[in-house]
Each structure stands twice: as structure tokens, then as C-alpha cells.
């Protein structure tokens, strides 16, 4: 019989994505929906701590609670800008809702150059994601990083959050990021995540990598 994985998210797209990966391992992924405002974003320093706090809060909403045989999945991500010592990091949602992309660009105003390679170094940043899985009191973490830089201007287009101002570094044939100025087979050709399709973005996805990292540690159901 399939094991159930409850996924705490408001986004059905993320559930479909997780199901795509977990169904072959014998897991049945279901969205755990909780009323708005039920889960509080904690003020902690790392994505792991955020995810752990969300797991603890969400367990009260899983059928069977802490006694359940089911699994609980939580995912958390953020944008970490090197020149700002990792800000907005765990406060990415808050920063997006307050200063937004324009505010972040303003914070980096002093880090500009005519030279694109130099810009990409001065304004380096990463999207980081953590996927946390709870089962019978045990927690497993998967990690994913997408390395890139903060563009000089925001792009209009698809995408959400900080997509309009984030340009990933090119990836080599092993999916590893290259240094700025080097061209790899996987590239947005200098475009931000906001200017490319979701399908293209998936190739760089920190979220996807975190889930994959978790999958490699998971036993078959």
C-alpha cells in the first residue's frame, strides 16, 4: 500500500511537482492545506530552522497528528545576496512584500560596473531551498542552491518573487555553476528568471535540487 506524504504548501503546482518525483517511489503526495495565518514564520537564522518550525506547527493539522504513520513535507526558500551578508535570506517573503525588487536593486546601487562580468561578481547571490521531511519524529533535510547575480534592472515577464532581478550563472554539463564570464550548455544568455519560461527556469531550480537531494536519502515506501 502506498504511503501518504502530506505537503504543507498553498501551491498545487508544487504538489504536482513533488508527486511526479515521489509516486515512482511508492508515495502518495497530498496537499496539506491550513487556514491562512495558522502557520507563523519564525524569526530564526536558517532555512532549516524555518522548515523545522513549520513542521512542528503543521503536525497539529495532519490527520493522526504526531502518532501518524504518514510523512510530512515542508519546503522553504530564499534569496541570499553576498554583498548584503545574505540578506534577505530567511526574510525573503517579508522583504518582497515590503521593499520589493526595486528596494533590493536600490540597496545594490553602489555595486555597478560597465563590465558585465564584474557586475556578476559584485552582485553575486544565490537562491537557496531546503526540503524537510518528517516521519515518526525523525527529520531529513534536502538542500538546493542556484548561484547567480542580481541584475541592474528588473525585467517584466513571467515568474514570481525575485525572479525579475535574478540572473543565474551558466551551468556546465554536470549542472554545476560556472564562474561569471564563462559560457555553459545550460544558459539563460544573461536573462533573468523573470524573462524566461518556467520550463527553462526548472533547469536551474534550487527547489528541484532540494527535492532531489531529499529523494536520494528516502527509502522506498
Residues taking part in catalysis: 76
Q: Does 162 bind ligand IMP (CB under 6 A)?
A: yes
Number of shown-chain residues binding ligand IMP (CB under 6 A): 13
Closer of 163 and 170 to ligand IMP (Cβ): 163
Q: Does 170 bind ligand IMP (CB under 6 A)?
A: no
Looking up cell 545574505, which residue turns up?
86
Interface mask toward ligand IMP for 29-68; x: CB under 6 A:
----------------------------------------
- What are the C-alpha distances in Å from 164 to residues 153, 156, 194? 8, 7, 4
In whole angstroms, the minimum distance from the beta carbon of 166 to ligand IMP comes to 6
Distance CA 218, CA 21 (A): 12
C-alpha of 130 from chain center: 7
In contact, 137 and 219? CB cutoff 8 Å:
no
Give SS3 for 16: helix
Q: Does 76 bind ligand IMP (CB under 6 A)?
A: yes
Which of residues 39, 78, 123, 144 is near ligand IMP by CB under 6 A?
A: 78
Distance CA 53, CA 40 (A): 9
C-alpha of 178 from chain center: 20
Neighbours of 142 (CB within 10 A): 22
Which of residues 89, 148, 161, 180 is near ligand IMP by CB under 6 A?
A: 161
CA-based nearest residue to 148, from 175, 181, 180: 180
Give SS3 for 18: helix
Contacts of 26 (CB under 8 A, 6+ apart): 2, 3, 220, 221
Closer of 70 and 163 to ligand IMP (Cβ): 163
Distance CA 166, CA 18 (A): 24
In whole angstroms, the minimum distance from the beta carbon of 173 to ligand IMP comes to 23
Q: Of 113-121, 132-140, 156-164, 174-182, which segment contacts ligand IMP by CB under 6 A?
A: 156-164
Site residues (CB under 6 A) for ligand IMP, limited to 92-131: 92-93, 96, 127
Q: Does 154 bind ligand IMP (CB under 6 A)?
A: no
Q: Does 142 bind ligand IMP (CB under 6 A)?
A: no
In whole angstroms, the minimum distance from the beta carbon of 76 to ligand IMP comes to 4
Residues that bind ligand IMP (CB under 6 A): 76-79, 92-93, 96, 127, 160-163, 193
Amino acid at each position: 500500500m502506498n504511503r501518504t506524504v502530506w505537503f504543507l504548501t498553498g501551491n498545487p503546482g508544487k504538489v504536482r511537482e513533488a508527486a511526479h518525483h515521489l509516486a515512482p517511489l511508492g508515495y502518495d503526495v497530498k496537499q496539506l492545506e491550513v487556514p491562512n495565518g495558522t502557520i507563523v514564520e519564525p524569526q530564526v537564522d536558517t532555512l532549516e530552522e524555518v522548515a523545522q518550525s513549520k513542521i512542528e506547527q503543521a503536525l497539529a493539522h495532519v490527520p493522526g497528528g504526531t502518532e501518524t504513520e504518514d510523512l510530512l513535507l515542508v519546503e522553504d526558500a530564499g534569496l541570499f545576496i553576498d554583498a548584503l551578508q545574505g540578506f534577505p535570506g530567511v526574510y525573503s517573503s517579508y522583504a518582497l512584500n515590503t521593499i520589493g525588487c526595486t528596494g533590493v536593486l536600490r540597496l545594490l546601487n553602489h555595486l555597478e560596473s560597465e563590465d558585465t562580468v564584474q557586475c556578476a561578481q559584485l552582485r553575486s547571490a544565490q537562491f537557496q531551498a531546503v526540503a524537510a521531511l518528517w516521519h515518526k519524529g525523525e527529520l531529513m533535510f534536502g538542500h538546493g542552491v542556484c548561484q547567480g547575480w542580481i541584475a541592474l534592472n528588473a525585467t517584466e515577464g513571467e515568474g514570481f518573487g525575485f525572479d525579475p532581478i535574478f540572473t543565474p550563472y551558466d551551468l556546465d554539463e554536470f549542472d554545476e555553476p560556472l564562474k561569471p564570464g564563462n559560457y555553459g550548455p545550460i544558459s539563460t544568455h544573461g536573462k533573468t528568471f523573470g524573462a524566461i519560461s518556467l520550463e527553462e527556469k526548472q533547469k536551474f531550480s534550487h527547489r528541484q535540487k532540494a527535492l532531489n537531494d531529499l529523494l536520494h536519502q528516502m527509502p522506498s515506501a
